Amino acid sequence: MQLPEARPAILSAGQQLRIAREQLGLTMREVESASLRIAAKHGNEEYAVSPSRLSDIETKGLLPSIYRLYSLAIIYRRDLREVLAWYGIDVNLSAADFQLTTPPKSHVSQSLHAAAAVQMPRKLDPAFNSKVTSSLSRMVEEWGLVPLAYLTQFFNDQYTYGYIGTEDFTMYPLSSSRNFPSDR
C-alpha cells in the first residue's frame, strides 16, 4: 500500500532517473540492452529493464524492483545509495532507525558498514577527565558528520548518555562479599 504523500517522491525519482539517462545520452533501447547484459551476467531476468517498464518508471512513478533499481544505478553510473535517496530512502539514517526496533537477542550487526556519514561528537570538551563520570552531552563541544555510523544513536535529546570514569566505582553493587576492582 502506498501512502499518498509518497507519490510525489516517486515521481521525482522517476524524473531524476530520466535526467540521469539523458545526461549520459542513453536511449531506452540502450538501457534495455545494458540491463539484459547485467541480467545475463547474474543469471536473473529480474535485472532486465524493458523500454515500456522504463517509461512507466520515469513518467508514471512506477516503483522499480530492487533488481531493476540496481541495474539502473549501474547503467547510469550512480551510487545505489544516491538512487535510493531519490526514492526517499536515506541509508545514512539507518543507525537512528535502529532505535525503533529492538530484537530480543543480542547480535553482531554489520548493516551500517556502508553508511557514508553520521552525526557524532567531533570535538570533546578540553576539560574532559576520563577518571570522572560525566554526562556525554556536556563532554561534547561540537557535533558533526563523520563516517562512523553506530555513534549516531548518541545524538538524541530524548536520552542521556554518559561516560563512566575509569576510577568511578559507584555503579558497582554494594556487597560485603564483592571487592571493588581496585581492591584486588
The secondary structure of 43-90 as a DSSP string is T-GGG---HHHHHHHHHS-PPPPHHHHHHHHHHTT--HHHHHHHTT--
Amino acid at 124: L
Alpha-carbon distances, residue 4 vs 13, 14, 32, 47, 62 (angstroms): 15, 17, 30, 28, 14
Domain with CATH 1.10.260.40 in the chain: 6-90
Q: Which three cell numbers stand for residue 40?
A: 545475463
Helix/strand/coil for 139: helix
Alpha-carbon distances, residue 174 vs 94, 163, 178 (angstroms): 39, 20, 8
pLDDT tens-digit readout, 77-113: 999 989 999 999 987 777 677 778 877 877 776 665 5
Tell me what pLDDT residue 28 has.
97
pLDDT tens-digit readout, 39-63: 999 999 999 999 999 999 999 989 9
Per-chain mean pLDDT for the chain: 78
pTM, two decimals, is 0.59
In the predicted structure, residue 148 carries a pLDDT above the cut 70: no
Tell me what pLDDT residue 127 has.
78
Tell me how long the chain is.
184
Q: Say how far apart CA 26 and CA 33 lie, in whole Å.
A: 11
Phi first, then psi, for residue 53 (nearest 5°) are -65, -40
For the packed helices 51-59 and 6-23, what is the interaxial angle rounded to 10 degrees? Answer: 130
- Residue 166's closest CA among 128, 137, 138? 128
Quickly state the pLDDT bin for 184 (edges 50, 70, 90).
very low
The arrangement of secondary structure in 6-90, i.e. its CATH architecture, is Orthogonal Bundle (1.10)
